[in-house]
Amino acid sequence: MRMQDKVVAITGAGSGLGREGALLFAAEGARVIVSDVVAGRSQKVADEIRSLGGTATAVDADVRSEADMNALVGTAVDAYGRIDVMWANAGIPEPGFGMQPLAESSLDDWNNIFAVNTTGIYLAWRAAARRMIGDKTAGALLATSSAASFTAYPGFPMYTASKAAVNGLVRAAALEFGKFGIRANALCPTHGMSVNFALPPDAEVLGKSYEEMQPWDPDKRAMPLRVDRPPVLRDNAHLALFLVSDESAYMSGQTIQATDGGQFARTSIIFPTDLGEETDITAGSIPDDLRDQIDR
């Protein structure tokens, strides 16, 4: 049990990678505080964890809110006496999911993307670090960054900028908090990410990656690595588990590229080469019924 009795709070855990990580961590013995901005989603995940014999508490919280992030940490401490891990996982894409030119974007969109993707990590980490320092707990801070922080995604300039800022925060936090025994790292996924990320917040939680939503033929993938199954959410969750476990006790300030498949410039998502024409650079596609939800 790699996380036996560790107290772990995860933001954006009602769906996607956060949900998958919550299930994995609980199976490894963690006591998980499941947090999500969509009302009721966190409760469903917590109920699922408990039905499997794990320990979990649900919190509805918005990572843009300082009060909510403080309350999230407070919930962990009230329920389990401390907090050992804060995984700031919540994130949002850009309006239009890659189809809006930067010149036509709005300041409101820019501010909201940064509020969730960057400030949300700062607020969650700060709240957890304050408690860890006060309790003299050698804890771990984890963020979900993105491959976009290294290789810009076409059509995602604001998202790309927000994730690059996260990587800078990782390095600064590791430098700042290291003297307290607190580590700060991030995983930067490429493949195996949640198709729900492309869907409206109220969409059904599918629990699948983009690649799982289409027939899998490894010989038609853009990535050089050939595996007989598609990349899945758990492939990324396993890296998250490693980065907060004692196995990585001497790792801090790292932003690790996950599920790359050996060709980091390519990704699993449909991106336009021309903003007037969609091209799937990985020879796959999101099914039409899901595409209709994206376009709503």
Output DSSP code: residue 34.
E
- Give me the mean pLDDT over the 227-243 stretch: 95
What pLDDT is recorded for position 88? Answer: 98
* DSSP of 211-239: GGGS---GGG-SSS---SS---HHHHHHH
What pLDDT is recorded for position 97? Answer: 86
Under 8 Å between Cβ of 72 and 11 = yes
Exposed, middle or buried by CB within 10 Å (0-12, 13-18, 19+), for 217?
Answer: exposed
The pair of structure tokens assigned to 242 is 């490693």
What pLDDT is recorded for position 267? Answer: 46
Beta bridge partners of 8: 32, 85
Cα 292 from chain centre? 24
What pLDDT is recorded for position 17? Answer: 97
Q: What is the CA radius of gyration of the chain?
A: 18
The pair of structure tokens assigned to 261 is 């498949």
Under 8 Å between Cβ of 277 and 269 = no
Between the alpha carbon of residue 142 and those of residues 23, 122, 124, 214, 226, the distances in Å are 17, 11, 10, 30, 29
- Give me the mean pLDDT over the 133-151 stretch: 94
Given a cut of 80, whether residue 270 has pLDDT beyond it is no
- Give me the mean pLDDT over the 3-17 stretch: 97
What pLDDT is recorded for position 281? Answer: 33
Three-state secondary structure along 11-31? CCCCCHHHHHHHHHHHHCCCE
Query: pLDDT class for 288, splitting at 50, 70, 90?
Result: low
Q: Distance between CA 79 and CA 33 in Å, rounded? A: 9
% of the chain beyond a pLDDT of 90: 72
Catalytic-residue membership of 146: yes
The pair of structure tokens assigned to 163 is 């994730």
- Using one digit for the tens of pLDDT, what is the confidence trace for 196-229? 988 888 889 999 998 898 888 888 777 778 889 9
What pLDDT is recorded for position 201? Answer: 81
The pair of structure tokens assigned to 267 is 């990704």
Query: Which range has highest mean pLDDT (53-62, 145-154, 187-196, 268-277)?
Result: 53-62
Looking at CATH, the fold of the domain delimited by 7-265 is given as: Rossmann fold (3.40.50)
Q: Distance between CA 94 and CA 91 in Å, rounded? A: 10
Catalytic-residue membership of 208: no
Annotated catalytic residue, options 42, 146, 162, 209: 146
What pLDDT is recorded for position 291? Answer: 55
Catalytic-residue membership of 250: no
- Using one digit for the tens of pLDDT, what is the confidence trace for 81-124? 999 999 999 999 999 888 889 999 999 999 999 999 999 999 99
Average pLDDT, the chain: 89
Annotated catalytic residue, options 163, 209, 210, 252: 163
- Using one digit for the tens of pLDDT, what is the confidence trace for 172-185? 999 999 999 999 99
Under 8 Å between Cβ of 83 and 30 = no
> Domain residue spans in the chain?
7-265, 267-295
Under 8 Å between Cβ of 147 and 257 = yes
Q: Distance between CA 126 and CA 201 in Å, rounded? A: 26
Under 8 Å between Cβ of 100 and 271 = no
Annotated catalytic residue, options 80, 122, 153, 159: 159
pTM: 0.90
What pLDDT is recorded for position 85? Answer: 98
Given a cut of 50, whether residue 192 has pLDDT beyond it is yes
- Give me the mean pLDDT over the 51-70 stretch: 98
